[in-house]
Every structure is written in structure tokens, then in C-alpha cells.
Amino acid sequence: MAFFLSPLGGAGWQFFDNSGVPLAGGLIYTYAAGTTTPKVTYTSSNGTSNHTNPIILNSAGRVPGGEIWVSAEPYKFILYTSTNVLIASYDNLYGIGAVAFQVQNFTGDGVTKIFTLNSASFGENFTFVYINGVYQNKNTYSITNTLLSFSEAPPLTSKIEIMYN
């Protein structure tokens, strides 16, 4: 399993309250994105040791050990003062470099120009399309929600691979 540096707290961060004072004893709760289901974070990139949940910041407002590592799935982080006053909430955050591409394969029939993906893509700039292993330039197709539309139908029996998120 791979672990990724958290975009919140990551490495060496120092947290402050709304007055600019270091957040001594501050609390970082970690959840699965969009939920209140607690989610584990790790103290290093090898993922062998978990942080407590909540993570309790030291007297300088820093994460014990200086790092927060996460798994590849999205997280929700909620930051509180030591007296449980909400400072901020951040949802749907992935670890740095952790956004996994989905891969989907089709076979061309020489006629079909539109293919339906299993889930919506963010658009052409978040896709890589290959036909028979050859990269397709972005101007040869478009993405709208779950629909991949080619300007020309891929050839009969061609192997189409789409990597997207």
C-alpha cells in the first residue's frame, strides 16, 4: 500500500489560532471524505504507525513527529482549538500525488464515436487516451460528464484505453 504526504499538516507545518498565536494543543480530526467516519493517518511514509485521532498538536502548534501521511483515498480534516472551537474544515483532500487515475478499455468497431465511461471525468485535461497504444491528441476527442466522443470512429478491432480522473 502506498502512502502520500497530506496536503494539510504535511511536513513541518505550524498551525495558528485566528489571532495568529501557535495552536498549542490544537486538534486535527481526520475522516473519510464527506463523512464523520474516522480515518487513519500515519506518522511516516511506510504507514507502520498511526497518529491518534484527533492528532493533538504540540506546544508550538505542530504535528507530533512533524508529518501526516495518508492513504490514496480522499480525506476530511477538521481543525479545532484545544477547547474544541472550530477553526476550519477541509473536505475531499487527497494526499500529494495520490489522485489515482481510473482506467477503462473499449474495442473500436469502425463506426462508434461515443463511448460511456464508468464515472465522470474532469475533462480532456485530466485524460490520456490511447488507440492501439498510440497517444491521442486532446483535439481528437472531447469529454462531457461520462461521454468520451471521438472526432472520428476508432478503427475496427482497435484497442482503446482511457486513463482519467
pLDDT tens track for 1-53: 678 899 999 888 999 998 999 999 999 999 999 999 999 999 998 999 999 99
d(CA 81, CA 57): 9
d(CA 90, CA 119): 24
pTM tops 0.85 = no
Return the H-helix or E-strand segment holding 107: strand 102-107
d(CA 43, CA 118): 35
Beta-strand pair 141-144/55-56: unpaired
